[in-house]
Structure 1
Amino acid sequence: MAQGKTIAALSAQERLNFLLTNRIPRRWLTLFMGWYSQIQSPLLTKISIKIWSLFAEDLRLEDAKKQHFISLQDCFTRQLKEGLRPINPHVDIITSPCDAIIGECGSVAAGNVFQAKGFPYDISDLIPNFHISHQYRDGIFVTLRLKSSMYHRFHAPVACRVNKLSYISGDTWNVNPVALKKIEKLFCKNERAVIELQMEKSCGSITLVPVAAILVASMKFNFLPHTFDLKYKGPNQVNCDASFSKGDEMGYFQHGSTIILFATSNHTLCDGIQSGAPIQMGQALLTRKPLVNGPFKP
């Protein structure tokens, strides 16, 4: 009986969560939160963080490089103390680009990716560029969900170069597990970026897809001058020339959201990588073996 009540309570909580976060004016709430989070007032920030901590019991600000914040955004985008995220140095290990809870992960079967059990989407809907998406139609993927309380910066999972970024405008649905079970092709609807990591041909290929969400819809990349958000009116294809060692910071979300990592079929999931498991930036995510002919390049 008690177990039945617990399940019913959790179900009711999930329905309430979904209604509160997805049946409201998402764009206006996101724009408001963007404005509010930039207000520079130590007192208002302290009060806001106190309220936030009531809903995020795992918020760990003692890990932050600094303990006093001038705005809520300053807290969201906080840096960590040195040495808290050691990077796995093995050359054939691809590390997690961020702190996260692992969502769906596994094989991309003929282009099908799962956002939740029973909710597939085609990789080409998420990554419209055929020259990029086709490489992963029989590869693997890992969905990394950054909770609002987590460290929001993301880092290079391998040594690589980036010569362009694709920005895709969209909605700001909440990307929590409740919404992923109810909204088909949710990741394909939201604001997102596509970043192909350039590596040696024998290493295969890896692409990161940071996905924005309600209260966020704002991504900043260290190698570009723009902030990509609901107000961005610039080009969708942005050329650049950036070089990263494994673990170098690439950018950050201004709240919390999701990164979907795709890799070619010469990669496999490391032990312990499964849905629901926590992972920290720098920990082993994938392992790879060299490709004889390199990835598909049309």
Structure 2
Amino acid sequence: MLDMTSMADTKIGSWRSLALKCHHTLPMKFRLQFPQLALRRRLGQLSCMSRPTARLRSWPLSFLYYILPFGALKPLAKVGWRPTSRVTIYKTIPTRLLSRAWGRLNRVDLPNWLRKPIYNLYIWTFGVNMKEAAVEDLQHYRNLGEFFRRKLKPQVRPVCDSHCVISPADGKILHFGRVKNCEVEQVKGVTYSLETFLGPRTWSESLTANRNEDDPGTFQDALVTKEGNELFHCVIYLAPGDYHCFHSPTDWRVAHRRHFPGALMSVNPGVARWIKELFCHNERVVLSGEWTHGFFSLTAVGATNVGSIRIYFDKELRTNNPRYNKGTYNDFSYVTNNNQEGISMRKGEHLGEFNLGSTIVLLFEAPRDFTFNLQAGQKIRFGEALGTM
């Protein structure tokens, strides 16, 4: 037995020596084919796998492809390898799980000696103006969650009385204007479907405005309740350093709430440019109702680390649950389950809050002469006017 083993080892060593000798004697162009053949064989194995498995196996290599400088992995394209797209890689990140973990971390009380260093780092990073806070003393905030949801001094955000629609929150104007062809722009050049964003128009049963049900036309036309009106929209992005509460943008009656469980991808304008229908993928809470000119809705869109969207008058709402079915939604009527009038909100009244920055989308009908007094990309503060008629 020992003799047979030693003979086998001898043969293996001989073949290995022969292979090395041939490798060194071959011209350089043939020598380079050896790693290419190995890569092709490996890529062939990936092509035989199911698409999710292949995507998972190639994820680390694709990640390195995008972060390594000087195109270090670009030569792999010569042997037939193609990197997984940035969007696909980003969508595989468990943002809901990370957001729930971040939420738990935010609720952990910090020791007194650690509060000022942590909060001052956040203030310096995101440019928070603590002089506007109702409580400026950093020791007052027991945890990060309380600091994020800090209240403001009433006098620093006066509500404009001369205009019917005001900004519901501090933030940055991403886009605004008339809704066209049943699509809304999330950022310039990137649109999403109005019907996908709001869901089926079954909630209209809670509204009392007269509609032409015989010929509703498009989904957009069905939302316009009065002749001579048009549908408008405004998208406001709340950065991490902004005031995280949002308020009622006008005097209106909230009749219905629709909660869409979903992803919690970042709604940063940079991400919104390369993920189509980002706002339709993310978790969101749609409040719909009526104001003096007809249909009015406010949608709070969740994002990474925004695992909780809170509506003050709705104690039943629970967001970022561990399990959900993709594409589903939950309806709740304030007219049938609360009272016959719905929830009356006054302009500037506290409406809800995020646990970090996110996005507010306003969709409403108004007379055709309504005009926005805004510029895309401008900073706006709660209480300032959005437009005039």
Distance in 2 (CA, whole Å) between partners of 1:210 and 1:286 is 20
Q: Secondary structure at the match of 1:284?
A: coil
The residue aligned with 2:148 is: 76
**Aligned residue type for 1:78:** R
After superposition, the C-alpha distances for 1:103-130 in whole angstroms (9 at most, x for unaligned) are 0111211211111222111101111132
* Aligned-residue offset at 1:229: 2.1
Task: Give ranges in structure 1 of 5+ residues lacking alignment.
Answer: 1-17, 289-298
Distance in 2 (CA, whole Å) between partners of 1:246 and 1:151 is 18
The residue aligned with 2:6 is: none
Q: 1:50 aligns with which of 103, 112, 120?
A: 120
The residue aligned with 2:133 is: 64
The residue aligned with 2:333 is: 239
Q: Is the Cα–Cα contact under 8 Å of residues 256 and 289 in structure 2 kept in the other structure?
A: no
* Aligned-residue offset at 1:232: 7.4
* Aligned-residue offset at 1:278: 0.9
Distance in 2 (CA, whole Å) between partners of 1:161 and 1:46 is 42
* Aligned-residue offset at 1:155: 0.8
Superposition map of 1:48-127 within 5 A:
48-56=118-126, 58-67=127-136, 68-90=140-162, 93-127=164-198
Q: Is the Cα–Cα contact under 8 Å of residues 301 and 360 in structure 2 kept in the other structure?
A: yes
Query: Is structure 2 residue 238 aligned with structure 1 residue 166?
Result: no
**Per the alignment, do residues 185 and 217 of structure 1 end up closer, same or farther by CA in structure 2, a change over 3 Å counting?**
same
**Aligned residue type for 1:280:** R
Q: Is the Cα–Cα contact under 8 Å of residues 193 and 210 in structure 1 kept in the other structure?
A: yes
Distance in 2 (CA, whole Å) between partners of 1:34 and 1:111 is 35
Query: Is structure 2 residue 130 aligned with structure 1 residue 28?
Result: no
Percent of pairs with identical residues:
27
* Aligned-residue offset at 1:42: 4.5
**Per the alignment, do residues 19 and 120 of structure 1 end up closer, same or farther by CA in structure 2, a change over 3 Å counting?**
closer
* Aligned-residue offset at 1:22: 6.6
Give TM-score scaled by structure 1 length: 0.81
Superposition map of 1:1-298 within 5 A:
24-43=93-112, 44-56=114-126, 58-67=127-136, 68-90=140-162, 93-130=164-201, 134=220, 135=223, 139-200=231-292, 203-231=293-321, 236-240=330-334, 241-266=342-367, 268-271=370-373, 273-288=374-389
RMSD of aligned residue pairs (Cα, Å): 2.6
Q: Secondary structure at the match of 2:233?
A: strand
Q: Secondary structure at the match of 2:357?
A: coil
After superposition, the C-alpha distances for 1:228-252 in whole angstroms (9 at most, x for unaligned) are 3212789811233422211100111
* Aligned-residue offset at 1:153: 0.8
**Aligned residue type for 1:111:** C
**Aligned residue type for 1:123:** L
Q: Secondary structure at the match of 2:363?
A: strand
**Aligned residue type for 2:129:** R
Q: Secondary structure at the match of 1:101?
A: strand
Q: Is the Cα–Cα contact under 8 Å of residues 230 and 367 in structure 2 kept in the other structure?
A: no
Distance in 2 (CA, whole Å) between partners of 1:29 and 1:36 is 10
* Aligned-residue offset at 1:193: 0.8
Deviates more, 1:67-76 or 1:34-43: 34-43
Q: Secondary structure at the match of 1:228?
A: coil
Distance in 2 (CA, whole Å) between partners of 1:179 and 1:259 is 16
**Per the alignment, do residues 48 and 29 of structure 1 end up closer, same or farther by CA in structure 2, a change over 3 Å counting?**
farther
Distance in 2 (CA, whole Å) between partners of 1:46 and 1:129 is 48
**Aligned residue type for 1:236:** N
Task: Give ranges in structure 2 of 5+ residues lacking alignment.
Answer: 1-86, 205-218, 335-341
Q: Is the Cα–Cα contact under 8 Å of residues 253 and 345 in structure 2 kept in the other structure?
A: yes
* Aligned-residue offset at 1:66: 1.1
Q: Which has the higher helix share?
A: 2
* Aligned-residue offset at 1:209: 1.0
Higher alpha-carbon Rg: 2
Distance in 2 (CA, whole Å) between partners of 1:81 and 1:42 is 26
Q: Which has the higher strand share?
A: 1
Q: Secondary structure at the match of 1:196?
A: strand
| Higher RCO structure, 1 or 2 (CA under 8 Å, sep 6+) | 1
Distance in 2 (CA, whole Å) between partners of 1:286 and 1:20 is 40
Distance in 2 (CA, whole Å) between partners of 1:145 and 1:248 is 20
After superposition, the C-alpha distances for 1:118-174 in whole angstroms (9 at most, x for unaligned) are 211110111113266631695111100011111111111111221321100100010
Q: Is the Cα–Cα contact under 8 Å of residues 260 and 330 in structure 2 kept in the other structure?
A: yes
Q: Secondary structure at the match of 1:198?
A: strand
**Aligned residue type for 2:333:** N
**Aligned residue type for 2:356:** H
**Aligned residue type for 1:50:** N
Q: Is the Cα–Cα contact under 8 Å of residues 109 and 138 in structure 1 kept in the other structure?
A: no
* Aligned-residue offset at 1:286: 2.6
